[in-house]
Structure 1
């Protein structure tokens, strides 16, 4: 029995943080990226052993190298726990997953470059960028808590400790209202221009009825749009062409009318008053 197709779609939930919360987000992003840079170095050094592991196997394998526990007191890289004291476990695992993805991408691109698979012969080798797309992934219950869909509580770093702060959700779309959609772990996107949650959803689109008709629209950039209605056996039962000729003619007539009135008012120089031809 075939299962329904899964489609991943991402919504943007705009946040409305206070000035203090922006400082907390900035501090959180700073320490998270520092941890990612540290982990990328570890993962890259041991990639020959880690590269063949699955995602479920890779995280504990990396933690054995750098995360000290009571049962694992001797580790190869004890500096991580000292540099990132009380770093939340779920943030650490998100950072490990990000580091593995960056290293895997770099190794693949570098091997292609070495093999001569380049856009240009003079192309420079790829670089291992530790900050490209580096934003913390939030796990439910451990890194964020939803209070309805108006507020979200996020675990942040205040420079000394990890604390919780409640932020207002300023805007969101409707995918969370669809019962068949499953919300996945969001990412906290924060920079000089943006502050929002990037929320992915696993969507299961409804199956089309076998005998239902399909309506398709082919949008032209500067030309005519075509609308076609097709039956289940491929027969086109209706076709229509939508063009902007009428709108373009109307626009040109209005512009010409404004131009004539402006020439009478201004002559060869001068300025038009505010609201000139606003009712044209």
Structure 2
């Protein structure tokens, strides 16, 4: 029997933060991005040895270069521990994973450019961008702790040390309530306009019964959507057209805005 396909869906959990917590999150994102930039340089320098490793092998290999321990007192890049004092281990591993992805993407795109695989003949070579707007992935127990689905403790940087802060979860969807869905590591999304947890779930859709009806939704151009209910024999037993004027106007305005920006 064919196993059901796993589907990844992401929920947005809104956080109700105080002004103090906004400052803590801002500092956390700032120091995390600094660590990512530092690690991009290390990984790119040693990519000839690191590029052939699996994801599970790459993280400890990078840590052997820059993370000092009692059993590993001599490392090549000792400045990392000095610049990022008491940097949590799971934040460090999340940063290594992100930095490795950036380097891998750049190397692949650069090789394609060298081989002549380009959109245009005069295309410029890709650049290694270490200054990206990345956000940290949070590992359960080490970076965040859930207290039901009303509160979450998140490890943050206060400018000198890493501390825990409890934040209220203001809004969330229903995927966490489904027993067959598996919650994965969320990401802390914070900027001047938004503050939320981006929570991915591994969803296992139920296998459709052969004799059950099928509901199909077709997103259209002239109408917002068309809904049809079909039996297992192919008979259409219900059809409905959804055409809300307000949504159509909003869509047309946004498409016009995109078109005007693209033409500049």
Aligned-partner Cα distance in 1 for 2:96–2:182: 24
In structure 1, the partner of 2:67 is 67
CA contact (8 A) 1:226 1:239 kept: no
Aligned-partner Cα distance in 1 for 2:88–2:225: 53
In structure 1, the partner of 2:86 is 86
Aligned-partner Cα distance in 1 for 2:11–2:224: 31
Shift of residue 243 of structure 1? 7.2
Aligned-partner Cα distance in 2 for 1:186–1:225: 32
CA contact (8 A) 1:11 1:172 kept: yes
Gap regions ≥5 residues in structure 1 = 249-280
Q: Superposition pairs for residues 57-136 of structure 1, below 5 Å?
A: 57-136=57-136
Task: Give the SS at the match of 1:132.
Answer: coil
CA contact (8 A) 1:228 1:236 kept: no
Shift of residue 239 of structure 1? 6.6
Shift of residue 107 of structure 1? 1.1
Shift of residue 85 of structure 1? 1.0
Residues 1:17 and 1:225: Cα distance change in structure 2 (over 3 Å)? closer
Residues 1:23 and 1:212: Cα distance change in structure 2 (over 3 Å)? same
Aligned-partner Cα distance in 2 for 1:147–1:141: 11
Q: CA RMSD in A?
A: 1.9
User: For this pair of structures, how many residues does the alignment match?
Assistant: 245
In structure 2, the partner of 1:144 is 144
Residues 1:243 and 1:100: Cα distance change in structure 2 (over 3 Å)? closer
Aligned-partner Cα distance in 2 for 1:56–1:130: 22
Task: Give the SS at the match of 1:189.
Answer: strand
Aligned-partner Cα distance in 2 for 1:5–1:78: 45
In structure 2, the partner of 1:28 is 28
Residues 1:224 and 1:38: Cα distance change in structure 2 (over 3 Å)? closer
In structure 2, the partner of 1:269 is none
Q: Superposition pairs for residues 224-243 of structure 1, below 5 Å?
A: 225-232=225-232, 235-238=234-237, 240=239, 242=241
In structure 2, the partner of 1:183 is 183
Gap regions ≥5 residues in structure 2 = 246-264
Task: Give the SS at the match of 1:110.
Answer: helix
Shift of residue 224 of structure 1? 8.0
CA contact (8 A) 2:229 2:239 kept: no
Aligned-partner Cα distance in 1 for 2:175–2:224: 32
Task: Give the SS at the match of 2:200.
Answer: strand
Aligned-partner Cα distance in 2 for 1:198–1:162: 22
Larger CA Rg, structure 1 vs 2: 1
Aligned-partner Cα distance in 1 for 2:242–2:153: 49
Task: Give the SS at the match of 2:103.
Answer: helix
